[in-house]
């Protein structure tokens, strides 16, 4: 199993969280750890004023459940892969629960290629039918995150129980290479390692994920930098840039601003 663990801004910038705003992450059970990066919650009370909630590319796909939705049918939807940051301004009370899937494993659970969800607003009911509605109904009536996770893991385990172990597809093998080298490899070198043409690799990623291997490599490398910043193991951005294969510090800063929306020193 990969040690790739994507990071979102609330983990890195906890000092920006106002009273009444809380973001938390929860680890999946061992049997689902190769599919689910984490479960997460966002809770916000409007009495503390507005709260900016930044979301960044992480190479993952999410099922998001709005626990304050008026109906089960419109409460849960799929959020596809992101290639640029987004900032939400929270001004009304919020209670969200999310399931963050690794992109190479998402299709086995969502039953459609990840590319089908990019830039779309697809409700969970549309892909899971009544099973999705029943799960959402249980989530909306649950009291605690631990109870919701139990409901979700029961459903995910049921969906996977009738399926064989995933075969080493080109996408899965490619992503494992990306994680192992922390994104510090070119698309052409990756294709060579996999004994496929770069063109074939690009077509596979476009068909299954809706983005290029180069784009995914950039996201994985960026997330690897964030993991290092979070752990505090490097002393300077120059060290980090060299370690992760950027040309120089300015190259790292340019990529950081593209995916995060701010300069590294602003973090």
Tell me the pLDDT tens digit for each residue of 3-33. Answer: 899 999 998 887 777 788 999 999 999 999 9
Farthest-apart Cα atoms in the chain, separation: 57
Nearest alpha carbon to residue 136 among 94, 78, 80: 78
Nearest alpha carbon to residue 158 among 133, 125, 135, 126: 135
Please say whether the beta carbons of 222 and 2 come within 8 A. no
Predicted confidence at residue 114, as pLDDT, reads: 96
- Other Cβ atoms within 10 Å of 177 Cβ, number: 17
C-alpha neighbours within 13 Å on the C-beta side of residue 196 = 18
Confidence of residue 119 (pLDDT cuts 50, 70, 90): confident
Distance CA 51, CA 92 (A): 10
**192, pLDDT greater than 70:** yes
| Average pLDDT score, the chain | 91
Domains and CATH numbers, the chain: 9-161 (no CATH), 170-266 (1.10.10.60)
pLDDT in tens, 133-166: 999 999 999 999 999 999 999 999 999 986 655 5
Confidence of residue 73 (pLDDT cuts 50, 70, 90): confident
**1, pLDDT greater than 60:** no
First-residue to last-residue Cα distance in the chain: 30
Predicted confidence at residue 2, as pLDDT, reads: 66
Confidence of residue 71 (pLDDT cuts 50, 70, 90): confident
- pTM recorded for the entire structure: 0.93
The DSSP H or E segment spanning 53 is strand 51-55
Nearest alpha carbon to residue 166 among 220, 214, 101: 101
* Percent of the chain's residues with pLDDT above 70: 95
Task: Provide mean pLDDT across the span 168-181.
Answer: 93
Distance CA 115, CA 205 (A): 9
- How would you list the strands of the sheet with 122-123, edge to edge? 21-26, 36-44, 94-102, 60-66, 76-79, 122-123
């Amino acid at each position: 199993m990969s040690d790739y663990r994507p990071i979102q801004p609330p983990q890195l910038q906890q000092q920006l969280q106002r009273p009444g705003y809380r973001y938390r992450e929860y680890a999946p059970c061992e049997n689902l750890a190769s599919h689910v990066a984490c479960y997460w919650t966002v809770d916000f009370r409007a009495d503390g004023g507005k709260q900016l909630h930044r979301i960044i590319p992480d190479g993952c796909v999410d099922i998001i459940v709005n626990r304050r939705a008026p109906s089960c049918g419109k409460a849960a939807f799929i959020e596809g892969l992101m290639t640029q940051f987004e900032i939400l301004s929270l001004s009304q009370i919020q209670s969200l629960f999310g399931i963050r899937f690794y992109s190479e494993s998402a299709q086995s659970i969502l039953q459609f290629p990840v590319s089908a969800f990019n830039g779309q607003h697809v409700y969970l009911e549309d892909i899971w039918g009544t099973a999705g509605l029943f799960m959402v109904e249980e989530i909306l009536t649950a009291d605690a995150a631990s109870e919701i996770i139990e409901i979700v893991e029961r459903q995910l385990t049921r969906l996977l129980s009738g399926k064989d172990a995933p075969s080493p597809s080109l996408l899965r093998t490619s992503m494992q290479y990306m994680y192992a080298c922390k994104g510090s490899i070119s698309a052409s070198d990756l294709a060579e390692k996999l004994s496929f043409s770069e063109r074939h690799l690009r077509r596979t990623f476009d068909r299954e994920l809706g983005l290029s291997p180069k784009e995914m490599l950039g996201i994985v490398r960026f997330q690897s930098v964030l993991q290092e910043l979070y752990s505090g193991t490097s002393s300077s951005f120059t060290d980090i840039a060299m370690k992760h294969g950027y040309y120089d510090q300015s190259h790292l800063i340019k990529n950081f601003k593209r995916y995060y929306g701010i300069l590294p020193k602003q973090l």
